[in-house]
Amino acid sequence: MYFLKTVNAVSVKPQAPALGAEVDCGDLRALDAAAFAAVYRALLDNLVIRIRGQTLTDPELIAFGKRLGELDFAPLAKTGKERARPHPEIIVVSNVMENGEAIGVLRDAEVVWHSDNSYRDRPLSYSALYALEVPPAGGNTGFANMYLALQTLDPALRRRIEGRTLKHDMTYNSAGDLREGFKPVSDVRDAPGPSHPIIRTHPETGCNALYLGRRPNAYINGLSVAESEELLDALWAHATREKFTWHHEWQVGDLLIWDNRCVMHHRDPFDGGYRRVMHRIQCAGDVPALRSGGREGHPRAAVAA
């Protein structure tokens, strides 16, 4: 049973045992400091929040994003082919073509489980996706709770990843497209990208979470390729179990905000004959680290375990 909680005229209704909440806060453009603080608290507590019925212009979306944190955007060369953006803070996620040119990224294919921009030295903290056009079916977005994935990890498997780091591949995006300026690699050990701890501490909640980034071309440093692949397969099979997830069905006017430091997400495929247009903003994060004093048992993980 999910209970409705109201703080400073902001109501929060959890959507699944593992994570996710619908937040009713009225017009985002009119949030005072107390109401915004309640929205932000809901995000930390529920890992991903859905705010429906918004009618935001691009400058208004940007202004709201700045309240979440310092805005960050991936250079065009790192996101694949995309035309110049009138608002560089906004990344267009779309399958639409105009005059033979893609207006955005990620097309209509399935997008694999991942954490946004884990291939960077300082991955993102928050991502927010705003729906302008949605297909009648498909294209749903699923989220998985990495606090809970770590908390329920088999002890023997946990011991195998203690103190280890994972190399995060830069060559492909999450739709499987080769990024401009990169070449395919035949050995995952040669893939370019930073290494981050497999277990990281969330800098705001103080809780530890599994941090896997994205499966293709990932490599656990210090292991043979075969050992790394076997261990990663086991970790991914565990981390994406249905009990850890919540799946969102999009409506026009939806704004979804999620915390990349403790959440992975993926997108279902959809019929490319229908238009899907989303505008994304994202906030800069910190260098992933396992901190002294990091703990397990985030409240939402405890509820779902």
pLDDT confidence of residue 1: 43
Encoded tokens for 88? 């560089």
Cα 76–278–19 angle (5° rounding)?
Answer: 110
pLDDT confidence of residue 13: 95
- Give the burial class of 96: count Cβ atoms within 10 A of its Cβ; 0-12 exposed, 13-18 middle, 19 or more buried: middle
Three-state SS for 281?
Answer: strand
CATH fourth-level superfamily of 5-304: Clavaminate synthase-like (3.60.130.10)
Q: Which amino acid is at 124?
A: L
Neighbour tally for 113: CB within 10 Å = 20
Residues 278/105, Cβ–Cβ less than 8 Å: no
pLDDT confidence of residue 106: 67
The region, left, alpha or beta by phi > 0 then psi within -120 to 50, assigned to residue 60 is: alpha
Residue 31 pairs in a beta bridge with none
pLDDT confidence of residue 75: 55
* CA atoms within a 13 Å half-sphere pointing along the CA-CB vector of 83: 11
> Splitting the chain (305 residues) into consecutive groups of 10 residues, what average pLDDT does each group show?
68 96 95 96 97 97 97 60 70 81 69 91 97 93 97 97 95 73 83 95 97 92 97 98 96 98 93 89 97 87 57
Size of the chain, expressed as the number of residues it contains: 305
Residues 254/128, Cβ–Cβ less than 8 Å: no
Three-state SS for 75?
Answer: coil
Report the alpha-carbon distance of residue 302 to residue 305 in Å, rounded: 5
Domain ranges within the chain, ordered by starting residue? 5-304
Whole-number Cα distances in Å, 252 to 103, 140, 228, 271: 18, 13, 41, 17
DSSP string of 39-50, one letter each residue = HHHHHHHHSEEE
Report the alpha-carbon distance of residue 247 to residue 268 in Å, rounded: 10
